[in-house]
Structure 1
Amino acid sequence: MAGVAVHDISFRGLAGAIFGVLAVALILLVVGLASAGWNITYNENGTSRNVGLWETCVCTSNNDVADWHKATQAMITIGLIFLVFCCICVFIYMCIHTLSKNKTIMALTALCFLTALFLLIGIIIWGVKMPSNLHWSFALTIIAMLTTIVAGVLSIVQMRKAGVDP
């Protein structure tokens, strides 16, 4: 007979670290997604052109964008949606004790890695199509992806510590 899973849930423990890492990832991803700092080029006359997923400065809308640009928008947006679900899962795991902790931590782990996958696809598409002048919004999105992976690894550690058999 397999051992009973025992979940140690505390904001000061591993579960709290998962919560904190996912909160940081969510903030970084929202800022990276919303900002126009994915690509910055400087012209000889001293002006700059900032390109984001949603707008190009001087505040023109990105309605006439290429298919690869739309694909990047879709992948990063799906990643954001999954990251919100990750945050909901970690909240449920830590605060709602009437639901199965085993299923919740397994769902959280899967969502973390699924989030990272969609973000990685979006990052790769953008990086291949705009390989130069990548800037801070792009970097924030990469950091958000990496912190989501860290949260997924911490979730695996929490599962093993609790004795959850996947």
Structure 2
Amino acid sequence: MPTTIVIQPSSSKWINIAFGALTLGLLLFVIGFSTNYWAVRNPNHLGLWQSHMCYRYGCRDFSNVSSNNADWFKACQALETLGLIALLLAFIILFLYMFVESCRGRNALMAIMMCTFAGVAFVIIGIIIFNTKKGYQMYNIGWSMGLAIAGAIFSFIAGIMVVMGYLGK
């Protein structure tokens, strides 16, 4: 007789809330991370990876990877990328924790907490560095950065929910 595998989500309400918050936070952050409206001053807009600038002779899009050599900008790109990697890792471990019975241990919860809070810290530090540069103080914060900030907030809430689930286990 063949055996059937039943996938049953974790029953902890804290972990379920954490999963929803981290899913939303990661989605918002990925959209903000990949779009190019971190700083806006019409008609110009600047993102982590691409920018749109208008001059007297016309407008053009250019890659920030090859054209922006400022160390602080590279640091922002690196920190935001590390934040993305850490949040993705936290999401994967949380997904496994919820749906795979053999992955439901305190060590998994500790790894989720560390990845989540490290990811949020990387994102926030990158945003702070980006916003403290004098060259961009004449720009307004764009919706892409707003989504990245919202994603970090939801991810932080997810981390708090994982702590609650850890303490309740």
TM bucket (normalised to shorter chain) is: 0.7 to 0.9
Shift of 1:59: 2.4
Shift of 1:99: 2.9
Identity %: 32
Number of positions where the alignment pairs a residue of Structure 1 with one of Structure 2: 149
Give the structure 2 partner of residue 27 of structure 1.
27
Of 63, 67, 70, the match for 1:64 = 67
Which runs of 5 or more structure 2 residues have no equivalent in the other structure? 1-8, 53-59
**Alpha-carbon separation, structure 2, partners of 1:141 and 1:51:** 14
- Structure 2 counterpart of 1:40, which letter? V
- Structure 2 counterpart of 1:59, which letter? D
**Alpha-carbon separation, structure 2, partners of 1:26 and 1:112:** 10
**Alpha-carbon separation, structure 1, partners of 2:121 and 2:145:** 16
Per-residue CA distance 1:2-38 (angstroms, 9 max, x = gap): xxxxxx9238x22111111111111111111111110
Which runs of 5 or more structure 1 residues have no equivalent in the other structure? 1-7, 43-47
> Aligned runs of 1:1-166 on 2, under 5 Å?
9-10=10-11, 13-42=13-42, 48-57=43-52, 58-62=60-64, 63-65=66-68, 66-129=70-133, 130-131=136-137, 132-162=139-169
Per-residue CA distance 1:31-64 (angstroms, 9 max, x = gap): 111111101112xxxxx01100000123211122
Per-residue CA distance 1:38-94 (angstroms, 9 max, x = gap): 01112xxxxx01100000123211122111111100000110001100111111110
Runs of 4+ with deviation above 3 angstroms: none
Give the structure 1 partner of residue 5 of structure 2.
none
Instruction: Let me know the Cα RMSD of the aligned residues.
Output: 1.5
SS at match of 2:44: strand
**Alpha-carbon separation, structure 1, partners of 2:141 and 2:36:** 11
**Alpha-carbon separation, structure 2, partners of 1:153 and 1:29:** 18
**Alpha-carbon separation, structure 2, partners of 1:17 and 1:80:** 20
Per-residue CA distance 1:74-121 (angstroms, 9 max, x = gap): 000110001100111111110111135111011101111111110111
Higher normalized strand content (fraction of residues): 2
